[in-house]
Chains A and B, each alone.
Chain A
Amino acid sequence: MNESWHAAGPAVAARAVTKTYGNGVRAVRGVDLTVPPGEIRAVVGENGAGKSTLMKMFYGLEQPSSGEILIGGRPRTLRGPAAAIALGVGMVHQNLMLVPSFTVAQNVVLGVEPGRRGLVDARAAVEITARLAEEAGLAVDPKARIDEVSVGMRQRTEILKALHRRAKVLILDEPTAVLTPQETEDLFAAVRRLRDGGMTVLFISHKLREVREISDQVSVMRAGSLVGTVPTADATERSLAAMMVGRDLSLDVDRAAARRGEVTLRVRKLGYEAPTGQSLHRLSFDVAAGEIVGVAGIEGNGQSELAEILAGLRSPTAGTIHVGGTDTAGLGVAGHRRAGVGYVPEDRLHNGAALDESIADNLVVDRHDRPPLARRGVLHPKAVRAHAERLIDQYAIRTPDPSVPMRALSGGNVQKVIVARELSAGPRLLIASQVTRGVDIGAMRFMYERLVAARDDGAAVLLISADLTELLALSDRLLVLKEGLLVGRFDDTAGLTEKHVGLYMLGVEHHDDKHLTAGLAAGEEPTP
């Protein structure tokens, strides 16, 4: 069906496309977008700006309420993905659509299997996959099972799936969110090669730096409308961010020098034997009231384990932990909360919120059993609602009502609810893990301000992040973890570069024990 493409027309286009959902929400408003063949077009916008909805319409997952979708230069009615696929549109979804127990090759051919009379030719599948991979420069092992390969290879498998279906248009929805820097580079190289072969690529992203690196032109969406399209060469991260949010906005954080108070978190010779995952070895460090201490490291080097131990979700196997003088090493989660520990987990959808429950209920889960929300074991719904309304207002959570289930919120708003809950408890120590992962720029900026405000109110903040830019922007001091060991400690982050910290993360450089433990009170007993 690819032959029905009009040679001269745009590869993909939208004409006055509007999408209004059944509940009256207008996700896309009168968008005109034209993408010529052989271009990498980035589409950026905050969460809820309508870019995903627009892409779903190109892929047949949604139908426009009015206006026209054009594929291959002609207006099309796409009743489902099958119709879009037949017209040469391929989409790599953010949460990859692969069958875990199938091999790479089996996933590539699934739905369009080689073979005759209802049989699948397994050898042909492997050959096809190997050939496509070779041509596109996407390295995969066709015979490896999907659940045993890296996220990067899974994503390459998704792209090969589209190529096997002879896609001429490839929609990549936040493809780099799950990739390491090296994998991102490889992906970009492959995407450029595909473009040079005539592929049209729609690249959805939050990360403006990557958008600038990969795209030919950038289209910016805001609140359902297309704000504009600019050649990438003429755009800066700052100008794009301003277009996205509608006002000048930078991610530079204004923060005064930290006013360090008493030591709040005291960790000494902390050890953890992990049954699975990364073990921790002899970690010693302090976090004082009124400072933000960042924890850098390549993901999987013990950051998650450290966060969960400090939050009381795991028990250490050696060493001591004191929070404000309380020995918390043996306490459960409730004990940690009583000691004043707040925790923003890295996987907010699994550990941070009950998605089917309301915003109001999620905001009270740590305090539903005591006044003013409850008396003698009986909950006061009015108090719960008032509490929710206050926090929704304070934290600018975008929702029509506190009774809305968490599942209906965007990623940034879910995170705001969690941060609102944790910070409104007035923690003495806040463990914040990947706070801005997958949230849009506006929400990111908001989180930054809140963390600094919490610090200035005297909280000790331990900030764990995979984003080095973020760590350097927010941290007063910085620790580096590698393979469960503390390998770097920077007591002054001014003038520290990502490259320099990167050397410690990779293990090229490391500080000696003396430097790492300098100034830490020797005794394992807390100072009162």
Chain B
Amino acid sequence: MSSVFDVVFSSAFLAAALRVATPYLLAAFGGLVAERAGISNIALEGQMLAAACTGALVAGYSGSVALGALSGIAVATLLGLLLAALRLELGADAIIAGIGLNLLASGATAYAVYTLLDDKGGTSGLDSGTLPTVPLPGIESIPVLGDVLSGQNLITWLAFLTAPFVAWLFYRTTFGFHLRAVGEMPDAAASVGIPVRRVQYAGLALSGALAGLAGVFLSMGYVSFFVRDMTAGRGFIALAAVFLGGLRPWGVFLAALGFGAAEALAVQLGTLDVPPQLVSTIPYAMTLVALALYAWRRKRRGVGEATPASL
């Protein structure tokens, strides 16, 4: 058992936890923004995947990592807008439309990679590069802190800044104020002249962009290539974090961080003498336990902060 503690309290583990939590954080905030706008974005998974693939391909062909990342985010944003359009213009059920987008992303990315690179697995044959890491000159040399904080990817930093950003957006800005009103009580928002649809489109675009950033991190930070279905359910786990966090920015932040830590733990424990199949179930098992806990708390205490119309 002591070896487990050695793992958990090592600076390598903490650094890995931050790295692994990055896509969860970004995708979860994407999910949160959409949820509070009143449209469940179950397509986080597909948006991440599409962004990861687009990013790696564009970066590989153009030689520009920045262009790749921006293209990936743009594609995910468009998918967010597409989900909003399906819901708002055609009246489609957001869950069904989201499942459709996820299947589309899974199939389309595999098809694109195969067509372009003649490779059924991914883009490892393409030299895409990764987004830059951020060294912290002063802190680098401090024993534990330096190992944990310095040298993290740019997007990891962005992911951690997303929490205060979304909190600020929700509770300080007119846009966030309108977004929350629209998501919770669209009729009330409409009756005071708030353009409900426009706010929802904007919310879903932002949601898609955040998921896109998460996806870009996977193929251009975590590793330097795209692998078919590389999101591996992270979009859905992020969605679980949205609800586990009680639809509040800091709650979602903690929940996503928890899921990140669970996955990092699984990775680190893989080096020990524990069956790897068992270890790799940790994030998913934790999701189930967490959701059950959330449901139980909710049942005991009544409903949480807000119940968006999408629920």
A residues adjacent to B (C-beta < 8 A): 80-82, 85, 91, 93, 97-102, 106-107, 110-113, 115, 118-120, 161
Instruction: State whether B185 touches A99 (Cβ < 8 A).
Output: yes
Instruction: State whether B174 touches A98 (Cβ < 8 A).
Output: no
Given contacts A97-B185, A99-B180, A100-B185, contact A110 B192 (CB under 8 A): yes
B residues 174-209 near A (Cβ < 8 Å) are 174-175, 177-178, 180-181, 184-185, 187-194
Instruction: State whether A120 touches B172 (Cβ < 8 A).
Output: yes
Could you tell me the dominant secondary structure of chain B's interface residues? helix
Given contacts A97-B188, A98-B188, contact A113 B193 (CB under 8 A): no
Q: Does any Cβ of A come within 8 Å of B173's Cβ?
A: yes
Instruction: State whether B181 touches A102 (Cβ < 8 A).
Output: yes
Q: Kindly list the 5 A-B residue pairs having the minimum CB-CB distance in the complex, ordered from nearest.
A: A111-B192, A82-B193, A101-B306, A97-B188, A97-B191
Please report the C-alpha to C-alpha distance between residue A106 and residue B184 in the assembled complex, in whole angstroms: 14
What B residues does A120 contact at CB under 8 A?
A: 172-174, 177
Interface 1/0 per residue, B289-311 and A, CB below 8 Å = 00000000000000001110000
Please report the C-alpha to C-alpha distance between residue A111 and residue B307 in the assembled complex, in whole angstroms: 20
Q: What count of chain B residues pass the 8 Å CB interface test?
A: 21
Given contacts A113-B174, A118-B174, A120-B172, contact A101 B184 (CB under 8 A): yes
A472 shortest CB reach to chain B, Å: 38
B178 shortest CB reach to chain A, Å: 8
Counting chain B CB atoms within 10 Å of each CB, the highest count among A93, A115, A118 belongs to A118
What B residues does A98 contact at CB under 8 A?
A: 185, 188
* Known pairs A82-B193, A99-B184, A99-B189 / 5 extra A-B pairs, C-beta < 8 Å: A81-B191, A99-B180, A99-B181, A101-B184, A110-B188
Please report the C-alpha to C-alpha distance between residue A197 and residue B173 in the assembled complex, in whole angstroms: 34
Please report the C-alpha to C-alpha distance between residue A97 and residue B192 in the assembled complex, in whole angstroms: 9
Please report the C-alpha to C-alpha distance between residue A97 and residue B191 in the assembled complex, in whole angstroms: 7
What B residues does A102 contact at CB under 8 A?
A: 180-181, 184
Instruction: State whether B192 touches A112 (Cβ < 8 A).
Output: yes
Please report the C-alpha to C-alpha distance between residue A177 and residue B189 in the assembled complex, in whole angstroms: 23
Please report the C-alpha to C-alpha distance between residue A118 and residue B305 in the assembled complex, in whole angstroms: 24
18 contacts between A and B (CB under 8 A): A81-B191, A81-B193, A93-B191, A97-B191, A98-B185, A98-B188, A99-B181, A99-B184, A100-B306, A100-B307, A101-B184, A110-B192, A111-B178, A111-B193, A112-B192, A113-B177, A115-B174, A120-B177
Instruction: State whether A118 touches B173 (Cβ < 8 A).
Output: yes
Counting chain B CB atoms within 10 Å of each CB, the highest count among A82, A93, A101, A115 belongs to A101
Please report the C-alpha to C-alpha distance between residue A120 and residue B174 in the assembled complex, in whole angstroms: 5
Instruction: State whether A106 touches B185 (Cβ < 8 A).
Output: no
Given contacts A110-B194, A111-B194, contact A119 B185 (CB under 8 A): no
Counting chain B CB atoms within 10 Å of each CB, the highest count among A91, A97, A107, A112 belongs to A97
Please report the C-alpha to C-alpha distance between residue A139 and residue B306 in the assembled complex, in whole angstroms: 25
Instruction: State whether A106 touches B177 (Cβ < 8 A).
Output: yes
What B residues does A100 contact at CB under 8 A?
A: 184-185, 306-307
A52 shortest CB reach to chain B, Å: 15
What A residues does B178 contact at CB under 8 A?
A: 110-111
Instruction: State whether A101 touches B192 (Cβ < 8 A).
Output: no
Given contacts A81-B191, A101-B305, A110-B194, contact A118 B175 (CB under 8 A): yes
B197 shortest CB reach to chain A, Å: 13
Q: Which residue of A has the minimal Cβ distance to B187?
A: A97
Q: Which residue of B has the minimal Cβ distance to A102?
A: B181
B198 shortest CB reach to chain A, Å: 13
Interface 1/0 per residue, B113-146 and A, CB below 8 Å = 0000000000000000000000000000000000
Q: Which residue of B has the minimal Cβ distance to A115?
A: B174
